[in-house]
Structure 1
Amino acid sequence: MRQEPDQIFAQPLAQVTDFVFNEDVARVFPDMIKRSVPGYPTIVENIGVLAARFAQPDSVLYDLGCSLGAVTQALRRHVRSEQCRIIAVDNSAAMVERCQEYLLAQNSMFQELLPVEVIEADILSLQFQPASLFALNFTLQFISPIQRPELLTRIHQSLLPGGALILSEKLCFQDPEEHALLTELHLDFKRANGYSELEIAQKRSAIENVMLPDSLEQHRERLLAAGFTKVIPWFQCLNFASLIALP
């Protein structure tokens, strides 16, 4: 499937509206995420590697906020537990449609892949089945902070013993100098990947009221309050990190 370059914010906009995961974003999302999130390919591929350790036979693996299914594809490449199946969920119809197309393309390249059910749904109202793995890959930051504790509590309650939640998020930092430095380094990363100052500024305006990041300390406290016993950071690149939370 041909991937288009991200030029959504390349021209001056009369009004910058809030960022939404619509068809325009779905069409350019692979390029957008690769050029915007430091370490994204490493995170995605290694979620598959990590999942292989926690996935249990005859269990469900959830990819919540699956977008185009990059994590789901990584799970299928690495998890070999018998009778596992993946449920990939996103609330964007455009993302779900393209995710299904990408998974069909993966089917043609690999054999004996885990079965996947792709669902268009709001993960805040979805009833979870008992599962050995949940992946929230840059999803929680788009959910209202008030609703985050309940979601994490329900995930914990649905996790099988020995399972895990893998949570990837953009971070903010409590130390102002640390926060300012890593923010500027992230902007340097975007510039190095070809984004103009106009694109950076307009994207920031579009996303600042939609994506609300937390600090690592806030994530740890919230996960422990939800019932998880251990929170282990396994990856960080600039102000983006991924954690393993154990029940």
Structure 2
Amino acid sequence: MTVEQDKIFSKPLDQIGDFRFDDTVASVFPDMISRSIPGYGEILQTLSKLARKAVTADSQVYDLGCSLGAATLAMRRGIRETGVKIIAVDNSEAMINRAQSHLQAYVSDVPVELVCADIRDVAIEHASMVVLNFTLQFLAPEDRDRLVTKVYRGMCPGGLLVVSEKLVFAQPQTHRLMDDLHLDFKRANGYSELEISQKRTALENVMRPDTLEQHQARFAKAGFRESSLWFQCYNFASMVAIK
């Protein structure tokens, strides 16, 4: 499958609107993600390993904010139990349509139900594993606690929640250092200063990251008995929480 290169912000724009997961973004999303998120491939590989350990027979697995289904595919490769169904949800019709073709390219005994809906409206039931892969940061801050609590209530005992996010840091020098390292990562992957600047402007109003401490407090408030950071590269991280 040919991956189209991300050139969305490569030319000066008279007006920069809020970032949207529309068909233009969906068409270049794999390239955009791989060049923008350090450690993204490692996170996907580990999702497969986590699914092998966490998913139980006759349960459901949720990929909330599934975009093109990369996390869904990773988990499906790792699942060995029977009677498991993955429910992959995204509110972008463009993403869901492309996810369908991506999923059809790989043969598996694990069925996937693709749902075009707001993840805040989807019921979580009998879940042994739930993934929010760079999704929570796009929700309004007041909705994040409610969603994580809903996930907790819909999980089986021992169920695993995986949350991957961009982080902010309370210490200003640390924040600047991690931000600079991320910008260098994007430059090294071929993004120009214009592209970096215009995309940052587009994301300002739609992506509001939390600190690691905010995530940990949210897991505890929802009822998760344990949580831990398992991966971090610069200001990008992935966490696990266990019911």
The TM tier, using the shorter chain, reads over 0.9
Q: Give CA deviations for 1:18-68 in whole Å, capped at 9, x if unaligned.
A: 000000000000000000000001101211111211100000000000000
Measure, in 2, the Cα distance between the counterparts of 1:148 and 1:76.
Answer: 26
Aligned AA (2:98): R
Partner of residue 166 from structure 1, selected from 151, 156, 162: 162
Aligned AA (1:184): D
Partner of residue 177 from structure 1, selected from 169, 173, 177: 173
| Aligned pairs for 1:105-116 within 5 A | 105-107=105-107, 112-116=108-112
Match of 2:40 in 1: 40
Q: What is the deviation of 1:82?
A: 1.1
Partner of 2:106: helix, strand, or coil? helix
Match of 1:209 in 2: 205
Contact 1:44 1:71 in 2 (8 A): yes
Aligned AA (1:28): V
Contact 2:19 2:202 in 1 (8 A): yes
Match of 2:146 in 1: 150
Number of aligned residue pairs: 243
Measure, in 2, the Cα distance between the counterparts of 1:215 and 1:75.
Answer: 26
Aligned AA (1:166): V
Q: What is the deviation of 1:88?
A: 0.4
**Do residues 5 (structure 1) and 1 (structure 2) align?**
no
Partner of 2:102: helix, strand, or coil? helix
Match of 2:73 in 1: 73
Contact 2:58 2:83 in 1 (8 A): yes
Partner of residue 222 from structure 2, selected from 216, 222, 226: 226
**Do residues 83 (structure 1) and 83 (structure 2) align?**
yes
**Structure 1: any 5+ residue segments left out of the alignment?**
none
Measure, in 2, the Cα distance between the counterparts of 1:36 and 1:141.
Answer: 15
Measure, in 2, the Cα distance between the counterparts of 1:201 and 1:155.
Answer: 35
Measure, in 1, the Cα distance between the counterparts of 2:158 and 2:227.
Answer: 14
TM-score by length of 2: 0.99
Aligned identity (percent) is 53
Measure, in 2, the Cα distance between the counterparts of 1:232 and 1:83.
Answer: 29
Partner of 2:122: helix, strand, or coil? coil
Match of 1:30 in 2: 30
Measure, in 1, the Cα distance between the counterparts of 2:53 and 2:148.
Answer: 21
Measure, in 1, the Cα distance between the counterparts of 2:41 and 2:169.
Answer: 23
Match of 1:96 in 2: 96
Match of 1:54 in 2: 54
Measure, in 2, the Cα distance between the counterparts of 1:19 and 1:113.
Answer: 36
Aligned AA (2:212): L
Contact 2:124 2:155 in 1 (8 A): no
**Structure 2: any 5+ residue segments left out of the alignment?**
none
Partner of 1:124: helix, strand, or coil? helix
Bigger Cα displacement from structure 2, 5-14 vs 75-84? 75-84
Q: What is the deviation of 1:113?
A: 3.1
Aligned AA (2:105): A
TM-score by length of 1: 0.97
